[in-house]
Structure 1
């Protein structure tokens, strides 16, 4: 299932995205689930509520539902914590070279603060004076069941679903310090969504294609099979130190840009748009606005 949070005059509500009668994403419909739960996090954490939501989706008449495009989406969940990984994809190496030779022993973990969270339709403001804002398309894991010191073999049982995060980064601020917080935590720098896909739709998180498209050109294309640390290991590892709660988001790192994209690097500016697409999950398109546009 695909769960979203959508905005109404009365506040945010959870919903399920159903395929419409016609082919194509434009025919997707939205089913209001606010009579079952108040938040998507509650659906992911409670098996009984999740079963009710599935029944409601299976019995709904999609033709009578509003189109997904008629509502404005917020981030699908509101995480208490957003935990991110730095270098987690192996790069391309010459033939005969062990691609694991430079693997770090442990994941490089950093946080993004609550002010960074944005919905899939929210423009990301470029901060005043920013000179090198960049994008990072990532598979993000939404915790569904409380995880505290879980063994690796049980770690995936704590996953509520998968979504997409664009780990927007200000490289200039990032280079100014050994800790990355000020380069990662500008307002709106974590657009999330558009939905959470339940694990039954993603049987193997280590077999997904992550791609990023900018200006109509694919700049990133790599499988999650090339990650250094698997989703299961990352959940296990993080839970040894802190307790992961339902709704928390763990973003699993970004692949390297393709060589041509690295050579043609251009900082993001107002008016730019970047699409992150991940097989079995969907795509998240983020638009960027200048500081002047954001203030208007």
Structure 2
């Protein structure tokens, strides 16, 4: 399934995408307003959700919201593609010897087609296409060989980065967490619909110019190793988001940072695309 949140008639509800139609799932018993809760209950609700056929709205007649707006955690891994790690090292950033994780505060989350704000206090704004993994089962100490069993699904994310703020501190959190700097979507494609999440083509374009293009198979630490590593430290909960790394071609390395008016489109094979305009913050 492709699970989403959509706004129609002034109300935001949970639905699923079937072809070009958004099927409203809000009338299904057990479906409330929280995607996080739905993912928790998904094993029990899956059969009835898959059978649901209405009410329906055309996709182009509704506004898609962030597919999950209330995760407990939004964790992101840095320098997880070899060529990106090398371009970062060329800029003076040392390559870590283990997985490098940081928080994006959940307040940064915004919709798949909503604007990205360029704050007045930021001087260097950048993009990073990443595959987002959504946890579907409460888990701890998961072996990499079992990690796929705790994944609910996947979506596209842009780890928007204020580089000047990122570099002010030993941790990346502030530079990664400005409001609107976490566009995600357009929906959650459930794991059963993705043959191999480690063989998906990613493309990011700015104003139509390709800046990043790489397969998810080029990760240094794949998504299963990531889940094993994180779950050694903390309990992962349904709805938790993992941003799994970006390939080379970020604006910082190319000398092509974002500016107001730019349109950033991030697309991942089988998962759809998000597209966001950069706007000056008021």
Aligned to 1:285: 275
Q: Give how far 1:233 is off.
A: 0.9
**Are the aligned partners of 1:132 and 1:267 in contact in 2 as well (CA < 8 Å)?**
yes
SS in 1 for 2:82: coil
Cα distance between partner residues in 2 of 1:249 and 1:92: 22
Structure 1 residues 239 and 178: alpha-carbon distance in aligned structure 2, compared to 1, 3 A threshold: same
Q: Give how far 1:8 is off.
A: 4.3
Q: Greater CA radius of gyration, 1 or 2?
A: 1
Aligned to 1:99: none
Cα distance between partner residues in 1 of 2:253 and 2:77: 24
* Among candidates 162, 166, 169, match of residue 174 of structure 1: 166
Query: Which runs of structure 2 are paired with 1:221-236 in the superposition (5 Å)?
Result: 221-236=213-228
Q: Give how far 1:276 is off.
A: 0.7
**Are the aligned partners of 2:80 and 2:220 in contact in 1 as well (CA < 8 Å)?**
yes
Q: Count matched residues.
A: 269
Aligned to 2:61: 70
TM-score, length of structure 1 as denominator length: 0.85
Aligned to 1:123: 115
Cα distance between partner residues in 1 of 2:21 and 2:62: 10
Cα distance between partner residues in 1 of 2:23 and 2:7: 13
Q: Give how far 1:51 is off.
A: 1.5
Residue 15 (structure 2) pairs with residue 15 (structure 1): yes
Q: Give how far 1:72 is off.
A: 1.5
**Cα RMSD (Å):** 2.1
TM-score, length of structure 2 as denominator length: 0.89
Q: Give how far 1:10 is off.
A: 6.3
**Are the aligned partners of 1:209 and 1:278 in contact in 2 as well (CA < 8 Å)?**
yes
- Relative to its length, the structure with more strand (as a share) is 2
Cα distance between partner residues in 2 of 1:222 and 1:287: 23
SS in 2 for 1:91: helix
Query: Which runs of structure 2 are paired with 1:140-289 in the superposition (5 Å)?
Result: 140-257=132-249, 264-289=254-279
Q: Point out where structure 2 has 5 or more consecutive residues left out of the alignment.
A: 86-93
1:165-193 deviation per Cα after TM superposition (whole angstroms, max 9, x unaligned): 11000111112222112211111110110
1:30-64 deviation per Cα after TM superposition (whole angstroms, max 9, x unaligned): 000012211333343321212211111xxx37xx8
**Are the aligned partners of 2:202 and 2:268 in contact in 1 as well (CA < 8 Å)?**
yes
Q: Give how far 1:9 is off.
A: 5.2
Cα distance between partner residues in 2 of 1:250 and 1:112: 10
**Are the aligned partners of 1:43 and 1:50 in contact in 2 as well (CA < 8 Å)?**
no
Aligned to 2:90: none
Structure 1 residues 92 and 248: alpha-carbon distance in aligned structure 2, compared to 1, 3 A threshold: closer
Q: Point out where structure 1 has 5 or more consecutive residues left out of the alignment.
A: 20-27, 94-101
